Amino acid sequence: MSLPLEGLSAIVTGAGRGLGRAEALELARLGAAVVVNDYGQAGRDGSGEASAAPAEEVAAEIRAAGGRAVAHLGDVSDFETARGLIDLAVAEFGKLDVLVNNAGILRDRMVFSMSEDEWDSVVRVHLKGHFNTTHFAAVHWRGRSKAGEAGVYGRIVNTSSEAFLAGSAGQPNYAAAKGGIVGLTTSSALALARYGVTANAICPRARTRMTEDVFAGFAEPAAEGDLDPLSPEHVAPLVGYLASPAAAGVNGQLLVVHGGMVAVVDRPKVAAKFDTAKEAFTYEELDSVLTPHYASRPAGETFAASEVLGLKKG
C-alpha cells in the first residue's frame, strides 16, 4: 500500500528542533522527501552562532529510517536565502509539493518596554520568513501551471498561535506577527487555489525550548513512558494531513491543535450591531448604544490564551 505523501517533496523550516523536527519526521514517515531547514542558533531569541548540526541531525535521522532528506542551513527571513531553499528542493527532488513554515524566534517584552529591534526581529523572522518562502514556492507552482503542467500539487501549512487569537500581554511582537501570518494564509489560499495549491494555518500548543516557560506547570505525562500532552508529536499528524491529497478540500482554514485535540476556528462573527436613527452617528448616540453594551459585560473581561479552548494547569 502506498504512503499518503509518497512521491511528494516537502520543505519544513525551523525543523532542527521541537515542532519543526516532529513535523519533518512525520512528513518523511508518510512518504515525503524532505528538505530540513534550520538556522541552528542556540538561543530561542535568535542569538548564537548559526549551525548546520540541528538540520543535519534530523535529515540523517530520516535517512536512517529509510527516507529521503537533505539539510539546509539558512535564515528564511532573508529573501535570497528563501529563494535558495525552494531551489534546493527542486534541484534535489525535481519539484516542490509541500511547504511547512515553522521557523521563529521569541523576544518577549511588554509593549512599553519593547525595543525597536525586539519588534523588528520577531516580525521579520515569523511574518517575513513566512512570506519569503511562500513567495518563491508560489512562483514555482504558478510557473509550472502556466507552462501547461496538469495537476500541479501544492500545500502550504503555516504556523500561527493562540497569542494572536486571545492576546499575550508580554508578546506584542509575536502576537502581531502570528496574526499577520493568518492574513497571509487566507490571502494566499484565495490567490493560489486556481493553481492547485492550498494554504492553511495551525495554532499549535507544544512544550519545546520556545515555550518551556509558557507551559511550566501545565499537565505533564501521568506516568513514565506516557506521551506528554503537550508533545510536538500531537501536532505533527495534523501537518501531515494538511499536506496530503486527503486535504484537497481544506483551504484558508485555521486550526488549533494539541494533546489529542483539533479545533477548527471559525471566521470572526459580529457580536452586536447598532444602526443610527438618523443619517449618521453622533458621539451622543454612540454613547447611548455602545456604553450600555460594554457595561453589560463582566468588568475587565479578557480572554487568556490558556482559557480559549480549555487548557488548564495541573
Report yes or no: 120 and 174 within 8 Å, Cβ to Cβ: no
Q: What is the secondary structure of 214-264 as a DSSP string?
A: TTTTB---SSTTSPPTT-GGGTHHHHHHHTSGGGTT--S-EEEEETTEEEE
Is 174 considered catalytic here? Answer: yes
Beta bridge partners of 203: 256
Residues 6+ apart with CB under 8 A from 312: 218, 219, 306
Instruction: Look up residue 26 and give its amino acid.
Output: E
Say how far apart CA 258 and CA 260 lie, in whole Å.
6
Give me 201's grid cell.
494555518
* Nearest by Cα to 182 from 205, 159, 166: 159
What is residue 147's DSSP assignment?
T
Is 161 considered catalytic here? Answer: yes
Catalytic annotation, pick one of 9, 121, 145, 161? 161
Catalytic annotation, pick one of 178, 231, 241, 244? 178
Catalytic annotation, pick one of 174, 231, 241, 244? 174
Instruction: Look up residue 278 and give its amino acid.
Output: K
Q: List active site positions.
A: 161, 174, 178
